Amino acid sequence: MTDSSVCGLYKQTDGSIRVEYRWHHSRPERMQLLVEDFDSVILTTPSWLIETNIRLEGFNDEVLPQSVIDAWKHAHWETSCKVYAPLCKRFLDRNPLPQILVTDSFVHDVYAYRYNDSYPDDCILLSYTWEDDATKLALFSDGELAEKCIKELDRILLRCSNIGVAISPYIDARNIRIQRWMTDRNALGCAKLYRAGTYYDAVSLMKYNRDLSSASGLYLAGESFSVDAGWTEPCLRTAIDAVINLCSRTSAHFHGGFDLAHYPHYQVR
Ligand SMILES: Cc1cc2nc3c(=O)[nH]c(=O)nc-3n(C[C@H](O)[C@H](O)[C@H](O)COP(=O)(O)OP(=O)(O)OC[C@H]3O[C@@H](n4cnc5c(N)ncnc54)[C@H](O)[C@@H]3O)c2cc1C
């Protein structure tokens, strides 16, 4: 299931939504284009991927207004980059490396993680950057970036009076993993922000489930459709919102005397 990528949502004349997806997406030799019809669909993908990778057809302006599509299209997404490596357990056994180092160098932040003894290695996040600091690293290939980070950390640690040793001999440089959110085909960004002057456009995305989902069958949830992005809490809130509205549409029985009259409205002006 985690290797199936949705590439189309088509509103059908009987009201259902046809979901088109690539089964075994990452293995071209086994990949199949499949479709399935659903009464309701909850859309949770990063918003720039909706525009670039997913076809939406058959939703007229009454059930999916252009203003809603514009609001997710015009969102701003930040980037981030992380450089991970396995770290030989002997390094943390012998050296008082803090769990987090905040530096003024291009590696920015460094995190060390101590696994329990059943794991052969510990882990080090050699570099954790956001936004412009991550963009600065875009130029370097994974190999170059890994080498630069290790060299830089050696330079810093050799000058630390309480450490004074190089970390490079303890890093498994053959198994470095680099995660760059802006070029990750399943993300295209790490945190959604709204541009100046577009706060209410973003709020209109949160209103969508209540106002129009019963007509479209399409529910919006997750980071892409919240205003306080970069944290899981607003994603959870929109997920609960989608469920509440879906339950209401399908005449579910709410506990504790709750009904939608108790549920606050998002205000767009
Ligand atoms: C570097 C970083 C650090 C963070 N730190 C924190 C933190 O400390 N605390 C905190 O609360 N939050 C943190 N966050 C934010 C938090 O991770 C997000 O807000 C949250 O994961 C968003 O959840 P989501 O379900 O909306 O989207 P995601 O978790 O992005 O899920 C979207 C899913 O859609 C999938 N997908 C993409 N395209 C398709 C497709 N075509 N078909 C099917 N599936 C698709 C993706 O693979 C992905 O699994 C951090 C985020 C990042 C990037």
CB-ligand 1 contact for 44 (6 Å cutoff): yes
Question: Looking at ligand 1, which residue's alpha carbon is closest to its atom 38?
Answer: 186
**End-to-end CA gap in the chain:** 40
Q: Return the ligand 1 atom nearest residue 238 CA.
A: 26
pLDDT over 80 (residue 54): yes
Strand 191-193 versus strand 76-78 pairing type? antiparallel
Instruction: Give dist(CA 166, CA 146) in Å, integer.
Output: 15
H or E, element range at 267:
none
Instruction: Give dist(CA 202, CA 72) in Å, integer.
Output: 8
Residue with tokens 């659903």: 38
Average pLDDT over residues 187-209: 94
Q: What is the pLDDT of residue 210?
A: 97
Question: Looking at ligand 1, which residue's alpha carbon is closest to its atom 21?
Answer: 232
Model confidence at 1, pLDDT cuts 50, 70, 90, reads confident
pLDDT over 80 (residue 58): yes
DSSP state of 105: S
CB-ligand 1 contact for 80 (6 Å cutoff): yes
Using an 8 Å Cβ cutoff, are 8 and 36 in contact?
Answer: no
Pocket test for ligand 1, best of 31, 42, 186 (most atoms within 8 A of CB): 186
Average pLDDT over residues 181-194: 94
The token pair at 152 is 């830089």
| pTM given for the model | 0.93
Q: What is the pLDDT of residue 228?
A: 83
Average pLDDT over residues 46-60: 96
Q: What is the pLDDT of residue 229?
A: 80
pLDDT, tens only, 90-102: 999 999 999 999 9
Strand 32-38 versus strand 121-130 pairing type? unpaired
**Distance from the alpha carbon of residue 168 to the mean position of ligand 1, in angstroms:** 32
pLDDT over 80 (residue 269): no
Q: What is the pLDDT of residue 47?
A: 95
Q: What is the pLDDT of residue 171?
A: 98
Using an 8 Å Cβ cutoff, are 93 and 195 in contact?
Answer: no
Q: What is the pLDDT of residue 211?
A: 96
> What contacts 119, CB < 8 A, 6 or more positions away?
none
